[in-house]
Structure 1
Amino acid sequence: MPTTVIKRLAACVLVSATLTACAATPSGNDASVQSMRDNDPLETYNRAMFQVNDAIDTVLIRPVAWTYKNVVPGHFQYQIDSFLNNLSAPVVLANDILQGNPDRAFNTFMRFMLNSTFGLAGINDFAAEAGFPRHEEDFGQTLAVWGVQDGPYLVLPILGPSNPRDTVGMVVDSFLDPFNYLARANSAEAFPWGRRVASGIDTRAELIPQYENLKEESVDFYATIRSAYRQRRAAEIDNITESGDLPEYDFGNGAMDGAAFDGDAFDAPAEEIQEGGQAQ
């Protein structure tokens, strides 16, 4: 499963905790009107697919992630995460360039060079210690920068929250990834899939307690994730937050404890992220 989608879903879970309330699902004509207001004309399908994805997570993804989290030593988990992030650097670099951002492109280039050498193929994030912090870009964000609208909300099988623009972006990113071509050239067609699965498990393992607490606290879990996805994507497009940055503040509703998170605070306060508007 594509790394960017899993991480966006992870971000959704984190940002969702800043939402103060969720309304109960409307019914009848009110539901149709509300769906249009939420830019969710496919809400009936989306809710059904959301339930399917949640069921798959419950019976398959979460158990595997739980085993990974509790069996693999923490140091190795860090190295795996760092290695996977380094593999995504060429795609990030391509999108930095396509967005016309030379400073971020230089940062990504230096990260890839330093981590691939001094970081021993990326198993250590040497670049961050050298002053080159990680960020993420994808072609969905590039399209947004070019003025392409996101379109209606869409829940993809297994992959979760998305929209037409970001779905196209995922496909293009797969063609921008040089490691996919390298794998095919060396008859290692299974490598891209193994890499995506490993990334999904790695990220899901980090979110086990947060995800479950949010699920229990939400009045409408689907609506919470939908709102959070749009807010997070708007923040990513505007470069308000950096990948890997997690909030360190009191959420108030007890859904999560900010002290339990690792990483730096968001570049902007939660209120600013919430007011960021819908994704372009």
Structure 2
Amino acid sequence: MHDFNLAVDRFAYRPAGIGYSKVVPDPIEDSISAFAENLSQPKIMINALLQGDLEGFGWSLARFLMNSTIGGFGLSDPASEFGVPVVDKDFGQTLHVWGVGEGAYLELPFYGPSTERDTVGIMVDIWLNPFSFIGNNTLGDATLYSNVGELLSDRGRYSDTIDAILYESADSYAQARLIYLQNRRFELGTSGDPDAFDPYADPYDDPYADPYAGATADPYYDPYSDPYEDPYALQ
């Protein structure tokens, strides 16, 4: 799957993202990204409530109301100018708050790095955002197109960093996996958790299994011998 995603990026996402950033003027590019971010606020508010984060819900609601009115339907971001913080919530984070483990690392087609928990979160978030399936097709289409524009903008703006990970590292799969898990755990506040999974570990391995189980015993091993004794010393 990683090789497939690399091919998709090389021949589609990368040239489209770089071309988008070069052709679309920066003010328009910023407006499209701001519009997409504003349309994601209902989903963020719902997840904040599901997590019991009333403060986060309030900030997200304030951003949505302010940017939807004086911000011209979200085409600009006056909320940030007034010091309203950005709140980022998703259902994968909600599952974490509810005590669901991250599960195995996955790489999704066309999407990229994820985990079992975050994959469920991605699917649920589609349904948590009313603009994704609202009866008014205009809003649904606007949500889709603005999200695509935001993704292309990010791919173009961060092209050097993404290219270094995907095309210049010795093992792009391991590098992408490590960066994704580290960043995600930092977002969730579990980066310093000693019980967090090793990014390179198999999540289905038994941590309590005897690593020497099944090994053949050395018939010449003396359990009472001195390990520091010089075997060449005179007797």
TM-score band, normalised by shorter chain:
0.7 to 0.9
Q: Does 1:186 align with 2:131?
A: no
TM-score by length of 2: 0.77
The higher radius of gyration belongs to 2
Alignment: residue pair count: 195
TM-score by length of 1: 0.65
Indicate which of 214, 219, 230 corresponds to 2:170: 219
State the 1:181 CA deviation.
Answer: 2.7
Kept in 1, the 8 Å contact 2:165–2:175? The answer is no
Spell out the pairing of 1:111-130 with structure 2 (5 A cutoff): 111-130=63-82
State the 1:62 CA deviation.
Answer: 0.9
Give 5+ residue unaligned stretches, structure 2: 198-235
Indicate which of 18, 22, 44 corresponds to 1:66: 18
The residue number in structure 2 matching 1:168 is 120
Q: Does 1:140 align with 2:92?
A: yes
The residue number in structure 2 matching 1:237 is 188
Which one has the bigger helix percentage? 1
State the 1:192 CA deviation.
Answer: 4.7
Indicate which of 196, 207, 232 corresponds to 2:147: 196
Kept in 2, the 8 Å contact 1:235–1:276? The answer is no
Change (3 A) 1:190 1:154: same
> Which shifted more, 207-216 or 108-117?
207-216
Q: Matches of 2:21 and 2:141 in 1, distance apart?
A: 24
Change (3 A) 1:190 1:113: closer
Question: Percent sequence identity over matched residues?
Answer: 37
Q: Matches of 2:18 and 2:96 in 1, distance apart?
A: 35
Q: Matches of 2:137 and 2:169 in 1, distance apart?
A: 46
Q: What is the RMSD of the two structures over their aligned residues, measured on CA atoms?
A: 1.9
Q: Matches of 2:51 and 2:34 in 1, distance apart?
A: 25
Kept in 1, the 8 Å contact 2:169–2:175? The answer is yes
Give 5+ residue unaligned stretches, structure 1: 1-48, 241-272
The residue number in structure 1 matching 2:233 is none
